[in-house]
Structure 1
Amino acid sequence: MIRHETADDHREVRDVHTRAFGDNERVPGLVEALRVAAAALAPMSFVAVVDDRVVGHVLLSATRLDAPRRIVDVLSLSPLGVVPEFQRQGIGTQLIAHALEAADSRGVPLVFLEGSPHYYGTRGFESAGAVGFRSPSLRIPEAAFQVARLSAHEPWMTGTFVYSEAFWAFDCVGLRDPEAYSLSDNSFGSG
Structure 2
Amino acid sequence: MELREERVGDRQAVRDVQLRAFGDHGDVVAELVDSLRDVVGLSLVAEQEGQVVGHVMFTRSLLDAPRRLVDVLVLSPLGVLPDFHRRGVGSALVRRGLETLAERSVPLVFLEGDPGYYSRFGFAPGAELGFRKPSLRIPDGAFQAFKLPAYEPWMTGTLVYAEQFWRHDAVGLRTPDA
Given the alignment, which residue of 105, 109, 112 partners 1:111? Answer: 109
How do 1:60-71 residues align onto structure 2 when only pairs under 5 Å count?
Answer: 60-71=58-69
Alignment of 1:1-191 (within 5 A): 1-22=2-23, 23-37=25-39, 42-175=40-173
The amino acid across from 1:80 in the alignment is: L
Query: 1 or 2, which has the higher helix percentage?
Result: 2
3-state SS in 1 of match to 2:101? helix
> 1:60–1:140: structure 2 CA closer, same or farther, 3 Å change rule?
same
Aligned length, in residue pairs = 173
Query: With structure 1 as the length reference, what TM-score do the two structures score?
Result: 0.88
User: Aligned equivalents of 2:57 and 2:37: distance in 1?
Assistant: 9
Q: Which residue of 2 aligns with 1:181?
A: none
How far has the Cα of 1:24 moved from its partner? 3.8
Letter of the 1:5 partner, please give it. E
- Percent of aligned pairs with the same amino acid: 54
- The answer as to whether partners of 1:21 and 1:81 remain within 8 angstroms in 2 is yes
Q: Is the 8 A contact 1:34 1:43 kept in 2?
A: no
Compute the RMSD of aligned alpha carbons. 1.2
Task: Find runs of 4+ consecutive structure 1 residues off by over 4 angstroms.
Answer: none
Q: Distance in 2 between matches of 1:3 and 1:58?
A: 11
1:45 touches 1:58 (CA, 8 Å); kept in 2?
Answer: yes
How far is the alpha carbon of 1:26 from its aligned partner? 1.1
Instruction: For 1:110, give the aligned amino acid.
Output: L
Secondary structure at the counterpart of residue 63 of structure 1: strand
Contact kept, 8 Å, 1:140 with 1:176, in 2: the verdict is no
TM-score if structure 2 supplies the norm length?
A: 0.94
Stretches of structure 2 lacking an aligned partner (at least 5 in a row): none
User: What CA distance in whole angstroms lies between the structure 2 residues aligned with 1:142 and 1:3?
Assistant: 32
In the other structure, the counterpart of 1:189 is none
Shift of 1:176: 6.9
Question: What is the distance in 1 between the residues matched to 2:111 and 2:3?
Answer: 20
Aligned residue type for 1:15: D
Shift of 1:175: 3.6
1:89-147 Cα shifts (integer Å, max 9, x gaps): 11100000011111111111000000111100011211111110000001100000011
Distance 1:175 1:83 in 2: 24
